[in-house]
Amino acid sequence: MGPLKAVDDRSSLALVPTSPRYGLGLCNSKRIDPRRHCPMKSSSQNRRSRARTMERKAMSLLRNSKSLGHLRQAHALVLKTRLDADNYVVAKLLRTLLAHSSAPGDLLPYARSIFDSVSSPDAFIFNTMMRANLISQRPQETLSLFLRMRRQDGVFCDSFSLSLVVQACGRLMDGDNGRTVHAQGMKIGFESDLFVQTALIEMYARLGSVEISKRILDDLKEPDLVSYNALLAEYVRIGEIQLARDLFDKMLERDLVSWNTMIHGHATLGDVVEARKLFDNARQRDVVSWSSMIGAYARTRQSNEALKLFHEMQLANVVPDNVTMVSVLAACGDIGALGMGKMIHEYIQRTRIEVDMKLGTSLVDMYAKCGDIDSSLSVFNRMDRRDVLTWSSAIMGLANHGSGQAALEFFSKMIAEGIKPNDIAFVGVLSACSHMGLVDEGWTYFTCMSDGYGITPKIEHFGCMVDMFARAGRLQEARELIRRMPFAPDAVVWRALLGGCRVYKDTDLAEEARVNLLDLEPHADGNYVLLSNIYTQKKKWDKVIHVRKMMRNVNIEKAPGSSSIEVDNAVYEFVAGDKSHPRTEEIYQMLSEIFKKLMLAGYKPLTSLVSQDLDERQKEIALAHHSEKLAIAFGLLSTTPRTPLRIVKNLRICDDCHLVIKLISKIYNREIIVRDRNRFHHFLEGSCTCREYW
């Protein structure tokens, strides 16, 4: 094992095992109060007395400083009174300063300038700086500070310094330095120091040697919970959940950290059921436990569960933090719960939770997904820092709302601000081009994705391009692109081609698209009907019979279509023909009233969309009870006139519902916003922003 790199060979490790675990002995010199020795006051005494007053003022400012401004004042006083020669004061200043930074690393340069002005910093000051750099993800700095500390005469490392540098080596994956520190630390008596040993457990796990970590833990004479938790956390971090589980089950004692580590481990691996079991069994829970669990539900799109648990969290009087809010907002966006999302936003403002970039982006995304693009943009405009995720949320939002031009402008602004676009931003830009029929511009963006920005187009991007060509009637180019795609086309791609075929009446290509769709979605309802319609049109009777037979053989289980609507901050979900709502009777009464008015306006049900073998009247009833119609009937019943209705549909909205909602928006004078699987439809005064293309 070699000596530490980049170190003068003459400097030997000067380590003194001093501090008790976690409690760092301050190396402050005892200061003598001169007043006790000098009862008489002279002019020099007056000066001293003034100096003391200033000193007391500086220390009191330091103790009570609530802002960076206060701290700067305290720093100025420290310099004026030459207290900067006192290591105790400097350490206090540094610690207060670093505790003030909201984001790790924010105030590090300031701290560093104070540190650099100290002529002979002591171990405590070194440790403070090493720790600040480590938690600010600058392990390299921690290592260099350690090396400098060792070169300085009269300063001895304690177990805190050693554990910090060991952790830094782990994060840097610097096995050479790590092992050297380990070996030399052993030589001078740290082999049983729990603090250092726990750091070593983490370091070896990060270096890929969990066996060594485990051995260190096993060899500890009196391992404590912190050491167990360190190994547990490392197992979880490298995805060895079974090893973590074995260790967890073996532990005689567990604390909040142990439980949280296991909940987080299962949650991040997507095993929500197991995470929930642990969550329910945990004796104590804090904001971390709740946030992990809510985050697990949000990530797996069990959004109602996420919101339910958030409600329970509030009943349990646990104060949520930024991490909780990000997950809850994602859940709101997923199910389009605008009222709930707004409440969260108000809560954030009321409790003055700091809206950092991540939380701001979550708000932008939530409002866009809930159909409130104005609020989304107003949050966006108020943010002082934005990253590519913030921008792409806004771009996607604008594109989905049919504001293609604005989406493209945002994209240009983002580039102008020097932010490199990601693949989501390109999905936004391409769908904007698609909705506006800007095929050639779209193609330029598509090619510059890989040529200009080194982003490999994903299937979504090909889907956008196929959609763009198909909408513009350039069906052969669309087909050609599908052929050249580096992956197997999915249903979205074929459906996009089919959309064009429908508009431009290309039955051959439509047949091809349908056959492929049927392959990919054998259980999807409409595919059979429309394929059989194509064959009927072409008079291919044998094929018509074949499709009918297929329909009977494949047990057509539609993915159940469901629509949700939010009324008074509660989300109500409906499936087709739903009769589970307590106000079912009123809802169906409302529905028949609606249809009477629709018929008067000349509406004819598009019964050809119904695949089941039913008579005409039964088909009409089946259509009339589609989930979005039930949700709208309920919405009209339970809201005051002119309140916009917001519906979220899990599948694509059908042609009949689209037609009906257009008419309802006119007859009832309501703005109705429907988010289906593909985009937003804003219905107002009898028309829709999608211009019949979705």
The 672-675 sheet, strands edge to edge? 570-575, 562-567, 645-649, 672-675, 680-684, 687-688
Q: Does 348 bind Zn ion (CB under 5 A)?
A: no
Q: Determine, following the binding rule CB under 5 A, whether residue 435 of this chain makes contact with Zn ion.
A: no
Count residues binding Zn ion (CB under 5 A).
6
Angle formed by the axes of helices 272-281 and 256-268, nearest 10°: 160
If one asks whether residue 681 binds Zn ion (CB under 5 A), the answer comes out as: yes
Q: Does 394 bind Zn ion (CB under 5 A)?
A: no
Q: Which amino acid is at 515?
A: V
- Which CB, 509 or 654, lies closer to Zn ion? 654
- The smaller minimum CB distance to Zn ion, of residues 89 and 654, is found at 654
d(CA 125, CA 120): 10
The C-alpha angle 81, 86, 90, rounded to 5 degrees, equals 90
Q: In terms of Cα–Cα distance, which of 533, 563, 517 is closest to 657?
A: 563
Per-residue binding string, Zn ion, 574-613, x by CB under 5 A, is ----------------------------------------
Residue whose entry in the numeric block shows the structure tokens 């000193």: 55
Q: Which range touches Zn ion (CB under 5 A), out of 121-129, 417-425, 467-475, 624-632?
A: 624-632
As beta bridge partners, residue 570 has 567
Q: Which is nearer to Zn ion, 254 or 646 (CB)?
A: 646
Q: Does 688 bind Zn ion (CB under 5 A)?
A: yes
- Closer residue to Zn ion (CB): 512 or 521: 521
Instruction: For residue 238, give the DSSP letter.
Output: T
Could you say which of 15, 143, 657, 673 contacts Zn ion (CB under 5 A)? Answer: 657
Q: How many CB atoms lie within 10 A of CB 15?
A: 21
User: Could you say whether residue 649 binds Zn ion (CB under 5 A)?
Assistant: no
- Shortest distance, position 537 Cβ to Zn ion, whole Å: 23
Structure-token pair, residue 346: 């108000």
Q: Interhelix angle for 194-206 vs 225-237, to 10°? A: 10
Cβ 375 to Zn ion shortest distance, Å: 22
Nearest one of 650, 646, 645 to 677, comparing CA atoms: 650
Minimum Å gap between C-beta 649 and Zn ion is 8
| Distances in whole angstroms, Cα of residue 8 to Cα of each of 4, 5, 168, 393, 503 | 9, 9, 20, 52, 78
Only one of the segments 81-89, 439-447, 463-471, 648-656 lies at the binding site for Zn ion (rule: CB under 5 A); that segment is 648-656
Instruction: Note whether 690 binds Zn ion by CB under 5 A.
Output: yes
Q: Rounded to the nearest whole angstrom, what is the least distance from the CB of residue 544 to Zn ion in the complex?
A: 25
Stretch that binds Zn ion, among 107-115, 229-237, 287-295, 647-655 (CB under 5 A): 647-655
Pairing mode, strands 645-649 and 672-675: parallel
Tell me how far apart the alpha carbons of residues 64 and 390 are, in angstroms, rounded to a whole number: 36
Which residues contact residue 163 at a Cβ distance below 8 angstroms, ignoring those fewer than 6 apart? Answer: 195, 196, 198, 199
461 binds Zn ion (CB under 5 A): no
Rounded least distance, CB 638 to Zn ion, Å:
21
Q: How many CA atoms lie within 13 A of 60 on its CB side?
A: 6
- Residues in contact with 307: Cβ distance below 8 Å, sequence separation at least 6, in sequence order: 328, 331, 332, 335, 337, 340, 571
Q: Is 626 in the site for Zn ion (CB under 5 A)?
A: yes
Q: Which of 217-225, 301-309, 371-379, 626-634 is the region at the interface with Zn ion (rule: CB under 5 A)? A: 626-634
Nearest distance from C-beta of residue 656 to Zn ion, angstroms = 5
Instruction: Single out the residue of 654, 661, 672, 673 in contact with Zn ion (rule: CB under 5 A).
Output: 654
Which of 324, 315, 257, 317 lies closest to 293 in space, CA to CA?
A: 324
- Least spacing, CB of residue 445 vs Zn ion, in Å: 25
State the nearest-atom distance from the C-beta of 427 to Zn ion, in Å: 20
- Chain center to CA of 137: 20
The amino acid that residue 667 corresponds to is I
Query: What is the nearest approach in angstroms of Zn ion to the Cβ of residue 245?
Result: 47
Span from 243-251, 529-537, 595-603, 646-654 in contact with Zn ion (CB under 5 A): 646-654
State the nearest-atom distance from the C-beta of 431 to Zn ion, in Å.
Answer: 15
Residues that bind Zn ion (CB under 5 A): 626, 654, 657, 681, 688, 690
